[in-house]
Amino acid sequence: MEKNAFLILVPWLAIGGAENFILELAKFLESKRFSLHIIAANRSKDVAGDSAADFEAFTPFVFQLPHFLREEMWAPFIVNYIGRRNITNLFLCGCPYIYPMLPDIRRLFPNVKIYDQLFNNSAIGHVESNRQYAEYIDITFVVAEKIRSSILKQYGGNPQKVRAIYHGADLRVFDPDAVSEKQAREKFDLPSGKKIILYAGRISVEKNPNLFLDLSAEFKDNMDCLFVMAGDGPIVGEITANAEQRGLRNVFFLGFVEPCDMPLLYKLATALVITSNVEGIPLAIYEALAMNVPIITSDVGGISDIVKNRKNGYLCKKEDKYDFADSIYKVLREPPTELRTSLGMQHDWKNVFQAYMRVFEPSIAVPGSSCPSG
């Protein structure tokens, strides 16, 4: 019997939380003997890094359509690819180009199972497109029960077709006992003896990095604290210029940090600060908690399902710098202690993906089932 073919459709092969999730999911599916195929279709250039090589390490079927096709050829390429490669499962992940194609895909390939992954329920995300084309999607995955409930309340739809699966981290990699502070100090040129207040993620408008600069200004006279920004993104130039203009000498820009080096960076951190106005549950929260780093975060999306006040961090009103600053003071005075212990084994990647497999397995198709119906 042939391996089942799984096509993952993404907007781009950048480097970030969503891409890391897709990479880990793809590795897991490959280990379960699926035939893996990756197609990226998007026009945006506001992305950081290129993760194509990470995917190419375990599947030769990686295609970034803007690199070799005119846009008017993307749809015929995808339709032809589904039929020619005998694709049995489609997994959409934030790929806006694909949604209008779903009626034709469903008509041509009625037995192909279609899944969609939503990371948040914001209007700037893909929830509206997902709901517009919900009749063609077999299962929509979301990252928190609060997001699932919000989507169903606002848009309606079949509750059985919207599933909440919480994400996590590789708890073997993000293990404080597996990383020495000496290793971390050698990797990053950060001064010793400082309390590292960390921003780790995409530097873009929805992440509200200017609030992080406001917080550093609140602590500019505290010589024990260093505010470190790790990441890249479309407004990184604006943020670095803003910090320089304001004379914020307690802000240190690391730029993009390779995912494999993030455990080392968390090893040095006193707290992870999430200033976002829009989120589901960032992977950085799971990673930091696994490394025994408390979280100070906007209370948005499904974050409050994981972060609990005084236990493993603090929830703050979004855009409220005084609430954030007060929470930083609290962590500096008396750090929470229920950190790694607050993550159950269900948040280890292998168990997260087993939860996905319990959805995929009943719908695994037999070879030949993806042939067009006419």
Structural domains of the chain sorted by starting position, each given as residue range(s) with its CATH number in brackets: 5-168+348-363 (3.40.50.2000), 176-345 (3.40.50.2000)
Q: Render pLDDT for 154-207 as a digit per residue (tens, 0 to 9).
A: 999 999 999 999 999 999 999 999 999 999 999 998 988 899 999 999 999 999
Q: Render pLDDT for 310-359 as a digit per residue (tens, 0 to 9).
A: 999 999 999 999 999 999 999 999 999 999 999 999 999 999 999 999 99
Q: Render pLDDT for 265-323 as a digit per residue (tens, 0 to 9).
A: 999 999 999 999 999 999 999 999 999 999 999 999 999 999 999 999 999 999 999 99
pLDDT of residue 196: 98
The mean pLDDT of 238-260, rounded to a whole number, is: 95
pLDDT of residue 246: 97
Q: Render pLDDT for 123-151 as a digit per residue (tens, 0 to 9).
A: 777 999 999 999 999 999 999 999 999 99
State pTM to two decimals.
0.92
Query: For the CA atoms of 337, 341, 347, 350, what is the dihedral angle to 10 degrees?
Result: 130
Whether the pLDDT of residue 208 is over 60: the answer is yes
Q: Identify the three-state secondary structure at position 122.
A: coil
Residues 6+ apart with CB under 8 A from 11: 40, 41, 42, 44, 94, 95, 96, 97
Residues 6+ apart with CB under 8 A from 6: 29, 34, 35, 36, 37, 87, 88, 89, 91
Contact by Cβ (8 Å): 146, 304: yes
